[in-house]
Amino acid sequence: MTAATTADVLERTRAFVRRVCLPAEARFGGHDVDPALRAELQEAARAAGVFAPHVGREHGGLGLGIADWPGVFEAAGYSLLGPAALNCAAPDEGNMHLLELTGTPAQQARYLAPLARGELRSCFAMTEPHPGAGSDPDALATTARRVDGGWRIDGAKRFISGADGAAFAICMARAPEGATMFLVDAGTPGFEVGRTMPATDTIVAGGHSEVVLHDCVVPEEAVLGEVGEGFRYAQVRLGPARLTHCMRWLGLARRAHDVALDRTAERELFGARLDQLGLAQGLIADSVIDLAASSALIQTAADALAAGRRAAQETSIAKVFVSEAVFRVVDRSIQLLGGDGVVHDLPVARFLTEVRPFRIYDGPSETHRWAISRRASRLRGAEREA
Ligand SMILES: Cc1cc2nc3c(=O)[nH]c(=O)nc-3n(C[C@H](O)[C@H](O)[C@H](O)COP(=O)(O)OP(=O)(O)OC[C@H]3O[C@@H](n4cnc5c(N)ncnc54)[C@H](O)[C@@H]3O)c2cc1C
């Protein structure tokens, strides 16, 4: 895609979010996007030429490369409804990317094609109850054993976003050869979606669920990619997926900042406009800096991924900084709005509880800081020896 058409998609996305998603927020009950509203918004996104911007053209998407995602995903994230409308919301977006890279043609036809068309939802099942996989994926306790004609999976998962209502799960389990990903259809005997865990965030379709796999038998064709390569594929999924979270949440932080700027431009206090009072200007300036730095770190990581690099350090740095910066920006916006910041007449109060979990999922800040520091020490060690 040429730069001109990428710019077109960006402009169309901004216009679509302003024209369709922001007004639709008034019809959004506040928990989960209703399937009928989601279908209506997706139809409108198709008509506006902004649907599935990240998906290859051969699968019906707009075919943008990852270096061109940041602006478009941020524009979608400006409304809580934008990512669902464009079909670039988590966890489906990350699963589409993984299926595009690792799925067989048959798996792509069966799972990726309908997912990319927005006909069904999916989930990604990795995290387990303690002492299983969480920050440390090596603790993976769900097992996969070969049986006649396929595999038997046993284990428990939790926090699985979108599991309730998903047509299939990409499930991580430990085979004798190592961690392996399996495509498990909803309705497979032994695959049970349990309790939805009440959480601070509400926007993910289906919420976050507990899942049990008990004597769950899947065929050989259910293996995604190679047996034993699950952790490598998890990185293929999680690097871009944590970056697209950064992009979308940056959009929401920018929205909160805009709401605060609009208010401070009109609110008179102590004989001055609020945006002319120094302490308020300090809050505004710090948010401008957080937004600009987030944008730059996201683009740096996206460019590194686009160049074919694993970009583990770049995506970790962006993930830590952006997940913390968007929280700060939303929090400052709330402060500038005064009491209106914490009541739900304005949308901003809600944004805080939507962005907070991002400092935990896709790797908590501490796990990433630990990894960033170890990579820095390793790199310096190699430089000393060179
Ligand atoms: C809203 C939400 C949605 C999610 N969606 C999914 C999903 O769809 N699929 C899925 O598989 N999982 C999902 N998760 C799970 C998420 O990935 C895990 O919560 C995360 O990996 C942390 O694991 P844990 O909760 O077991 O915390 P733990 O592993 O118990 O970690 C607890 C804390 O330990 C600290 N810590 C971690 N590493 C280090 C370190 N190296 N040094 C010092 N301190 C450290 C951090 O402060 C961390 O928060 C979701 C979680 C949330 C909150």
Q: How far apart are CA 319 and CA 136, in angstroms?
A: 17
pLDDT in tens, 196-224: 999 999 899 999 999 999 999 999 999 99
Which homologous superfamily does the CATH classification assign to the domain defined by 3-116? Acyl-CoA dehydrogenase/oxidase, N-terminal domain (1.10.540.10)
pLDDT in tens, 118-161: 999 999 999 999 999 999 999 999 999 999 999 999 999 999 99
135 touches ligand 1 (CB under 6 Å): yes
Ligand 1 pocket mutation pick from 235, 361, 375 by most atoms within 8 angstroms of CB? 361
How many Å lie between the centroid of ligand 1 and the Cα of residue 104? 30
Stated pTM of the model: 0.97
How many Å lie between the centroid of ligand 1 and the Cα of residue 367? 9
137 touches ligand 1 (CB under 6 Å): no
Angle between helix 69-77 and 278-306 (nearest 10):
140
Closest by Cα among 69, 80, 98, 99 to 38: 80
How many Å lie between the centroid of ligand 1 and the Cα of residue 43? 35
356 touches ligand 1 (CB under 6 Å): no
pLDDT in tens, 297-335: 999 999 999 999 999 999 999 999 999 999 999 999 999
How many Å lie between the centroid of ligand 1 and the Cα of residue 362? 7
pLDDT above 70 for 181: yes
pLDDT-above-70 percentage for the chain: 98
87 touches ligand 1 (CB under 6 Å): no
How many Å lie between the centroid of ligand 1 and the Cα of residue 361? 5
Q: How many Cα atoms are found within 13 Å in the side-chain-facing hemisphere of 381? A: 6
The mean pLDDT of the chain is 95
pLDDT above 90 for 281: yes
Q: Which atom of ligand 1 sits closest to the CA of residue 136?
A: 29
Here the tokens at position 113 are 């094609």
pLDDT above 60 for 1: no
Report domain extents, the chain: 3-116, 122-227, 231-385
pLDDT above 80 for 31: no
Bond from prior residue into 91 cis (ω within 30 degrees of 0): yes
How many Å lie between the centroid of ligand 1 and the Cα of residue 107? 29
**What is the structure's pLDDT at 75?**
98
pLDDT-above-90 percentage for the chain: 92
What CATH architecture applies to the domain 122-227? Beta Barrel (2.40)
Question: Which residue is closest in CA terms to ligand 1's atom 25?
Answer: 134
Q: What three-state secondary structure class fits 196?
A: strand
DSSP state of 197: P
Mean pLDDT of 248-258: 98
Mean pLDDT of 37-51: 96
pLDDT in tens, 351-381: 999 999 999 999 999 999 999 999 999 999 9
Mean pLDDT of 241-249: 96
pLDDT-based confidence at 4, cuts 50/70/90?
Answer: low
Comparing 32-41, 80-89, 129-138, which segment has the lowest mean pLDDT?
A: 32-41
316 touches ligand 1 (CB under 6 Å): no
How many Å lie between the centroid of ligand 1 and the Cα of residue 223? 25
Q: Which atom of ligand 1 sits closest to the CA of residue 127?
A: 11
CATH topology of domain 231-385: Butyryl-CoA Dehydrogenase, subunit A; domain 3 (1.20.140)
347 φ/ψ angles, rounded to the nearest 5 degrees? -80, -15
pLDDT above 80 for 177: yes
Q: Which atom of ligand 1 sits closest to the CA of residue 91?
A: 8
pLDDT above 70 for 30: no
Question: Which residue is closest in CA terms to ligand 1's atom 35?
Answer: 366
Chain-centre distance of CA 203, in angstroms?
Answer: 11
DSSP calls for 354-375? HHGGGGTTTS-HHHHHHHHHHH
